[in-house]
Amino acid sequence: MKDEKAKKKISGKLSINKKNIILILIIIIILSSIGLFFFLQTTTEENIKKSIFNKFRDNKIESTTIVADHIASDLQSVMLILQGIVDLVSVQSPGAFEEKFNKILNEKLSSINKITEVNGIYFLNNKNIIKYEMLSQLNQSLIGTDLSNKNYIKQMNQSLKPSFSNGFIGTDDIYRIALIVPILSNDSSRYAGAVQVTISTEKFFEHYGNIHDVNSQFLVVYDKKGNLLAVGADKSLLGENFFNEKVQNFTNHNPILMNNTVKLLQGISGYAIYDYGRGERLTTTYPVLIEGKPEYFVQIVNPTLSLYSEINKVIIGEEVKTFFLLLGTIAAVASLIVILVKWNIILNKEVKTRTSELEESNKLLKGTNEELLQANEALKIHDRMQKEFINIASHEIKTPVQSILGFSQLLGMYPEKQTEFIDSLQRNAYRLQRLSNDLLEVTKIESKAFKLKKEVFTLNDTILKVVKEQNTILENSREREVKLILHKPNEPIIVEADNERIGAVVSNLISNAIKFTEVGEIIINVKKENSQYVLVSVRDTGSGIDQRISAKLFSKFTTTSFQGIGLGLYISKNIIKAHGGRIWGENNKDSRGGATFYFRLPLFVED
Amino acid sequence: MSNYAKILLVDDDKDIALSFKLALQYEGFSVEVFDSSIKALENFRPKSFKLALIDMKMPEMDGIELYKKIRNKDELIKICFITAYDWDNDQVKEFTDCFIKKPITLEGLVKMVKREIEQI
């Protein structure tokens, strides 16, 4: 028993653990789904960001290219005008047809000024001294200024080709670049002078983009040395060299920017993302190519903050949408799980109910089956008993009939034995009568038509009468040495009963006793048991009740005798029962043996 | 001749035994009666009876048992069963084809006995 309990406890714990494990698994699944979802979400966002950013970057690269081309095209236009002037000078030296020349020159100047503002067009002699000028408005005259020290002049003198200068501080303290075209002698071998314009870098480059506000997209332009011709980051840096301490301090020596700029100055375009302490920037670069040669270098710097805030706005909107989608999905899955769990519980209950019902019906079936088997067995027994009864009954009927038939015929053959034959006839007729009475009684009992004819009478008299009859039969047969002894009570015992049938019961008990007793005595005792009952007993010294039939002594067709049909005790029991009494029999325990049969009847009570 | 044949009659019902005996004697047969198998067997003398009429249902020893015992002692004797039973005769047919079913009129009994003896 203890072991079983312990087992139950363990299995209980196990089942709880199982439930916990399932619960934990569900939580893990949900959490990992959410985790996976957010991972995917983040990855997707990153991809979106990257994609948007790349588009933005490509866009910027393209616009940088356009800006650089635009600058190149404008500078080239100026250069072409200067070339046109040089061509004019080659045909006619300045000074000749001055009036007409000046008119043309003026037109050229206004054309240049339409592109970008210049102070004027200056003519240099072969010693690089300004000899002639066409000024815009009221600008200072530079005639007589010696430019031979200027690097771009020196280079131009060597190459004898039109050139774009690096940045320099002009005579008016304005940072400038110069565009110069040499004038060659007629055989093109000798330097005869040059025509030049100088352009204020600040004024020129502000046409192409912001060069003032560091916090939004701005433009940076370098010359070939890395001097800053235009810079949106800080005006004070104008004219400074990128590689100088001042600029490098400003950019915090940012290596990415450095690398980007170095490459740009080599003519390689590209982009860079970096942060030198003022927020992340995207920088796109492109050289200003004139006739395929890089002359200046454009850098467009874009703070990415605004871009990202735009991206984030979009992504947050998407995030909110997906979050609600996820929430909805989780709610749907959760309710699905709840429904499934409930369904499972209901199913389990149903299964349990069905199982117990099945078990019940199985038990019932087993029971019914057993009952059926028993009933079948009972039927078989009943059937056998019926057949047996028919045999016994037919034997019992035919036997006296045979005698009656025989003796009635013998009367004619042996007239002298008439008296003897008539006795035999009578005896067999009685026997037949008793038999038919018994059969009739049984039929009544079986068909519930058994009714007592009750009357008030003295039991003593009835019993005495029966004993006398039995004694007569006993004496006539002269076969047995059996004595009938009646112990009469001193007082009359009054009962309200079926006189004839009570007599039949007593008669049956006595004749049974005689049947099974060869030698000895049969004592009939009648006495009041108490104020309510009388007890009648018939005690013999015969063979006793056969063990084989003692259990069904009072059932139909129970007999071990070769005379009789086995109905006597059955009928007696039914008669006594109908009177509210009881009948029973038992073997005697003393040395003489035999059996005693008793019946108890209620006494008559006057109202 | 046949009327003087000796017949053994065994029946525990004394009235039947007596009535059969008287009827057969009236026809001239010599009849020896016993009311129990045991007594009949004790007094049985082989070759002294032409015919035995044996009741089937008797206490102590039934008719079939008695048949076997008699047959052991006497191979020639014709044995008939007398029965008041209603059962079919399959279980005793292997022994004899002669059955006297009760109730039977005495004329019927005599007629049957004569026929059985003539067949011997």
Model confidence pLDDT, tens digit, residues A37-65: 778 878 887 888 788 888 888 888 888 99
Decide if B16 touches A, using CB distance below 8 A.
yes
Q: How would residue A95 be classed by pLDDT, with cut points 50, 70 and 90?
A: low
- Look up the CATH superfamily of A10-316: PAS domain (3.30.450.20)
Residue B92 has pLDDT above 80, yes or no: no
Residue A14 has pLDDT above 60, yes or no: no
Give the residue on A whose Cα is nearest the Cα of B12: A562
Decide if B12 touches A, using CB distance below 8 A.
yes
Contact A190, A183 (CB under 8 A): no
Q: Give, as one character, the DSSP assignment of residue A139.
A: P
Domain ranges of chain A: 10-316, 445-602
Contact A119, A148 (CB under 8 A): no
- Domains observed in chain B: 2-107 (3.40.50.2300)
Average pLDDT over residues A86-95: 69
Number of inter-chain CB pairs under 8 A, A vs B:
67
Residue A381 has pLDDT above 70, yes or no: yes
Q: What is the pLDDT of residues A383-403, one digit of tens each?
A: 887 777 777 788 888 888 999
Give pLDDT, residue B1.
Answer: 43
Give pLDDT, residue A328.
Answer: 82
Average pLDDT over residues B77-99: 77
The helices-and-strands tally (H runs, E runs) of chain B is 5, 5
CA distance to partner chain B, nearest, from residue A523 (Å): 27
Q: How would residue B2 be classed by pLDDT, with cut points 50, 70 and 90?
A: very low
Shortest CA distance to A192 belongs to which of A125, A92, A143? A125
Tell me, what's the ipTM?
0.90
Q: Number of C-alpha atoms within 13 angstroms, CB side, residue B26?
A: 19
Give the residue on A whose Cα is nearest the Cα of B20: A406
| A402/B19 Cβ within 8 A | yes
Give pLDDT, residue B87.
Answer: 60
| B58/A398 Cβ within 8 A | no
Q: How would residue A454 be classed by pLDDT, with cut points 50, 70 and 90?
A: very high
Q: What is the pLDDT of residues A183-215, one digit of tens each?
A: 887 777 788 899 999 999 988 888 887 776 767
| B57/A395 Cβ within 8 A | yes
The CATH number fitting domain A445-602, selected from 3.40.50.2000, 3.30.379.10, 3.30.565.10, 1.10.10.10: 3.30.565.10
Average pLDDT over residues A108-121: 89
CB atoms < 10 A from the CB of A93, how many? 12
CA distance to partner chain A, nearest, from residue B118 (Å): 24
Q: How far is residue A176's CA from residue A165's CA, in Å, rounded to a whole number?
A: 9
Residue A6 has pLDDT above 60, yes or no: no
Q: What is the pLDDT of residues A347-374, one digit of tens each?
A: 889 999 999 989 888 888 888 888 888 8
Give pLDDT, residue A221.
Answer: 92
Q: What is the pLDDT of residues A561-584, one digit of tens each?
A: 666 778 889 999 999 999 999 999
CA distance to partner chain A, nearest, from residue B75 (Å): 30
Task: Tell me if domain A10-316 and domain A445-602 are identical in fold.
Answer: no
Kind and range of the H or E element at A464?
helix A459-477
The mean pLDDT of chain A is: 85
Shortest CA distance to B43 belongs to which of B51, B30, B32? B32
Q: Report chain A's terminal Cα–Cα distance, integer Å.
A: 64
Average pLDDT over residues A229-238: 82
Residues 103-132 on A with a CB inside 8 Å of B are none
Kind and range of the H or E element at A483?
strand A481-487
